């Protein structure tokens, strides 16, 4: 560990101490000295803290503390790996748990530690792949190559499937054509032949390769009928265990990987793909890259997302149905805030009495073939089916979510509008202070000397309101506070605006100016702006 890493850990332990985590710090110090039991105890304490409150309310320090504890456990387990392969797997699991549940402070250390454990193991085994049951290899090949007649496909899909407008299909168009014909007008399109060069298109068809690269890695999986599902649950299992479950039909609940940054966690798989150039449309930036991987029968119910989405079908096939944002009301979104982007309608069995408007809506759909990309514009509702009865067997796909300049501008506008609400509230407080300052200084001070005092008082009133509204501030970025101060500074430094206030004071007199402030207040403020 370098000096920088040591400083990070020391600073983290100081933060945990400040939050009352004395027992954790004591155990962590013993773990750093080689005490395995102390390392496990520290990890357990951090784990309890992570589950002591909803995820978004858990402090970042405790997430980083959990990552630190995982590093300690892994280092001590890996040191004993010569005793047996179980210790190596335990070390790898600890590091994966640190990546999945820990904070970002020590992420680079976790990734480096994983690389060392994996390299040592491959070196000891001469780089050979671990054995896989022959039956699974054959079933894997069968699943990837599986195909059915269109008539059989229609029996397994929602009513009216492939009978309305088909999603337009284009062959490997240029970025300029994509932007002009689809991105700007936010129109869906299937793009074929764009990822044929990916190593994943061939490597991921080899189950031995996947076992060798990711077999012992711990990943989060969903267990349920579909995603999202109120009855579903999440489990942490190895990738090998996940592959084994895909063949199991003992339970009605399916096991699948849903919306997990698998390629960020397992770097070797990330090297098998490249980000499509279409993700850079509008000079935007890639926000997330998630993997979806599941057996036949997996369904993703109707929902929409706020950003541009480019869906890559790496293996298998998938049915897609899309509805434009303009028909959102007729798709009966959930009223709960957390589910407002999901429809109450089950497309596989529409209840016409409860949802009478949905059945008659026009939509576009199609089957995404292996190697296709599908562009889904923001707010477009989409339903996905992996099929049933081995229709689209073993689909493995990636979702590239990216934000363009327009979306970034829209988000900035939301933050500014949200901040102006605070400014409007602060104006009510500010007018009282400003009137007093003007009254006191008008006779014996210049406009220039008054102006800094007004700026300071308005800044303080805004900060006070921001603190009192801290709970609401969780809805927006912390940068809003600094943005608002800059906004106020620019606003009040404007000679035009400031002199308008002074002229109104001089023309109306002190009493008239005060009366105007208390009757018009915020409207007066923003009319001048």
Quickly list DSSP for 28-66: HHHHHTT-HHHHHHHHHHHHHHHTSS-GGGS-HHHHHHH
Residue 518 pLDDT more than 80? no
Domain ranges for the chain, please list them: 3-125, 147-407, 494-528
- Secondary element (H or E) of residue 454: helix 447-468
Encoding tokens for residue 514?
């005060």
- pLDDT, greater one: 408 or 126: 126
User: Nearest CA to 311 among 372, 255, 358, 256?
Assistant: 372
Residues 460 and 61: their CA atoms lie apart, in Å, by 29
Section 257-268 average pLDDT: 91
Number of C-alpha atoms within 13 angstroms, CB side, residue 165? 12
CB 243 within 8 A of CB 145: no
Q: Which CATH superfamily is domain 147-407 in?
A: Cupin (2.60.120.650)
Residues 68 and 125: their CA atoms lie apart, in Å, by 29
- Mean pLDDT (the chain) is 78
Structure confidence at residue 471 (pLDDT): 37
The residue written with tokens 């496990």 in the block is 40
The distance between the two most distant Cα atoms of the chain, rounded to a whole number of Å, is 95
- Secondary element (H or E) of residue 384: strand 381-385
Helix (H, G, I), strand (E, B) or coil at 365: strand
Structure confidence at residue 248 (pLDDT): 66
Structure confidence at residue 85 (pLDDT): 84
Residue 25 pLDDT more than 80? yes
Encoding tokens for residue 435?
């009137």
Buried b (16+ CB within 10 A) or exposed e, 165-195: eebeebeebeeeebbeebbeebebbbbbebb
Residue 471: count other Cβ atoms within 10 Å of its Cβ: 7
Section 164-183 average pLDDT: 95
- pLDDT, greater one: 225 or 352: 352
Section 327-332 average pLDDT: 97
The model's pLDDT over 436-451, given as tens digits with 9 standing for 90+, comes to: 555 555 555 555 555 5
Residue 464 pLDDT more than 90? no
The model's pLDDT over 272-281, given as tens digits with 9 standing for 90+, comes to: 999 999 998 9
Contacts of 289 (CB under 8 A, 6+ apart): 261, 263, 264, 275, 398, 399, 400, 401
Residues 42 and 28: their CA atoms lie apart, in Å, by 6
Residue 437: count other Cβ atoms within 10 Å of its Cβ: 16
Strand-pair category, 373-376 with 218-224: unpaired
Residues 313 and 224: their CA atoms lie apart, in Å, by 22
User: Nearest CA to 225 among 291, 161, 294?
Assistant: 294
* pLDDT band with cut points at 50, 70 and 90 for residue 524: very low
Section 468-487 average pLDDT: 41
Q: Is 409 exposed, middle or buried (0-12, 13-18, 19+ CB in 10 A)?
A: exposed
Percentage of residues of the chain with pLDDT beyond 90 = 48
Among 59-63, 79-83, 380-384, the range scoring the smallest mean pLDDT is: 79-83
Helix, strand, coil share of the chain (percent; to 5): 55, 15, 30
User: Nearest CA to 488 among 452, 453, 458?
Assistant: 458
Q: How many residues are given for the chain?
A: 529
Structure confidence at residue 224 (pLDDT): 81
Among 212-226, 235-249, 408-422, the range scoring the smallest mean pLDDT is: 408-422
Section 1-18 average pLDDT: 88
* pLDDT band with cut points at 50, 70 and 90 for residue 373: very high
Bond before 452 cis per omega within 30 degrees: no
Structure confidence at residue 387 (pLDDT): 54
Using DSSP, how many helices (H) and how many strands (E) does the chain show?
20, 14
Section 329-340 average pLDDT: 91
- pLDDT, greater one: 447 or 122: 122
Structure confidence at residue 66 (pLDDT): 98
Encoding tokens for residue 150?
């269109």
Residue 374 pLDDT more than 50? yes
Structure confidence at residue 57 (pLDDT): 85
- pLDDT, greater one: 195 or 127: 195
Among 3-12, 96-105, 228-237, 293-302, the range scoring the smallest mean pLDDT is: 228-237
Section 478-485 average pLDDT: 43
Percentage of residues of the chain with pLDDT beyond 70 = 65
* pLDDT band with cut points at 50, 70 and 90 for residue 522: very low
First-to-last CA distance in the chain?
Answer: 55
Structure confidence at residue 212 (pLDDT): 92
The model's pLDDT over 146-173, given as tens digits with 9 standing for 90+, comes to: 556 667 767 778 999 998 899 999 999 9
CB 457 within 8 A of CB 430: yes
Q: Is 230 exposed, middle or buried (0-12, 13-18, 19+ CB in 10 A)?
A: exposed
* pLDDT band with cut points at 50, 70 and 90 for residue 47: very high
Strand partners for 323? 381
Structure confidence at residue 2 (pLDDT): 67
Structure confidence at residue 385 (pLDDT): 87
Section 420-447 average pLDDT: 51
**Residue 29: C-alpha distances to residues 35, 39, 42, 72, 435 (Å):** 9, 9, 10, 10, 58
Residues 289 and 264: their CA atoms lie apart, in Å, by 8
Section 103-119 average pLDDT: 95
**Residue 308: C-alpha distances to residues 257, 300, 328, 399, 437 (Å):** 21, 18, 17, 10, 51
Encoding tokens for residue 440?
């006191």
Residue 380 pLDDT more than 80? yes
CB 394 within 8 A of CB 315: yes
* pLDDT band with cut points at 50, 70 and 90 for residue 455: low
Section 227-243 average pLDDT: 82
**Residue 457: C-alpha distances to residues 259, 360, 441, 442, 462 (Å):** 47, 59, 15, 17, 9
Encoding tokens for residue 21?
């985590």
Structure confidence at residue 127 (pLDDT): 59
């Amino acid at each position: 560990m370098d000096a920088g890493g040591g400083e990070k850990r020391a600073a983290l332990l100081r933060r945990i101490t400040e939050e009352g985590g004395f027992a954790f710090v004591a155990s962590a110090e013993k773990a750093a000295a080689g005490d395995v039991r102390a390392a496990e105890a520290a990890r357990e304490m951090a784990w309890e803290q992570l589950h002591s409150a909803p995820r978004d309310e858990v402090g970042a320090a405790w997430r980083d503390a959990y990552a630190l504890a995982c590093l300690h456990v892994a280092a001590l387990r890996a040191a004993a790996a010569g005793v047996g392969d179980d210790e190596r797997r335990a070390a790898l699991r600890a590091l994966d748990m640190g990546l999945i549940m820990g904070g970002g402070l020590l992420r680079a250390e976790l990734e480096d530690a994983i690389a060392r454990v994996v390299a040592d193991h491959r070196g000891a085994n001469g780089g050979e792949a671990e054995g896989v049951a022959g039956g699974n290899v054959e079933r894997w090949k069968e699943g990837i190559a599986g195909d059915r007649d269109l008539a059989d496909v229609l029996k397994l899909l929602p009513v009216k499937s492939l009978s309305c407008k088909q999603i337009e299909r284009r062959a490997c168009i240029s970025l300029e054509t994509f932007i002009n014909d689809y991105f700007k007008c936010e129109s869906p399109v299937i793009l074929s032949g764009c990822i044929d060069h990916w190593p994943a298109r061939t490597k991921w068809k080899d189950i031995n390769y996947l076992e060798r690269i990711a077999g012992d890695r711990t990943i989060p999986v969903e267990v349920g009928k579909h995603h999202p599902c109120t009855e579903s649950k999440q489990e942490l299992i190895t990738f090998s265990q996940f592959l084994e479950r895909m063949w199991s039909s003992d339970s009605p609940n399916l096991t699948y990987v849903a919306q997990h940054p698998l390629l960020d966690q397992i770097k070797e798989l990330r090297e098998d793909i490249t980000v499509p150039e279409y993700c850079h449309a509008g000079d935007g930036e890639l926000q997330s890259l998630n993997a979806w991987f599941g057996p036949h029968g997996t369904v993703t119910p109707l929902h929409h997302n706020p950003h541009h989405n480019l869906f890559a079908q790496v293996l298998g096939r998938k049915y897609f149905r899309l509805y434009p944002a303009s028909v959102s009301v007729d798709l009966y979104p959930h009223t709960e805030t957390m589910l407002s982007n999901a429809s109450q309608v089950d497309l596989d069995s529409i209840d016409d009495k409860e949802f009478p408007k949905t059945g008659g809506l026009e939509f576009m759909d199609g089957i995404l073939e292996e190697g296709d990309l599908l562009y889904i514009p923001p707010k477009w509702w989409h339903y996905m089916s992996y099929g049933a009865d081995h229709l689209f067997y073993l689909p493995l796909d990636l979702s590239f979510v990216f934000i363009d300049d327009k979306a970034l501008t829209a988000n900035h506008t939301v933050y500014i509008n949200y901040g102006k609400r605070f400014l409007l509230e602060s104006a009510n407080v500010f007018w009282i202070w400003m009137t007093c300052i003007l009254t006191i200084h008008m006779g014996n001070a210049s406009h220039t000397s008054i102006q800094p005092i007004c700026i300071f008082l308005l800044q303080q009133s805004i900060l006070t309101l921001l603190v009192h509204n801290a709970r609401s501030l969780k809805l927006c970025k912390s940068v809003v506070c600094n943005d608002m101060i800059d906004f106020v500074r620019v606003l009040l430094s404007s000679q035009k605006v400031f002199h308008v206030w002074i002229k109104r004071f001089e023309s109306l007199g002190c009493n008239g100016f005060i009366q105007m402030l208390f009757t018009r207040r915020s409207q007066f403020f923003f009319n001048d702006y």
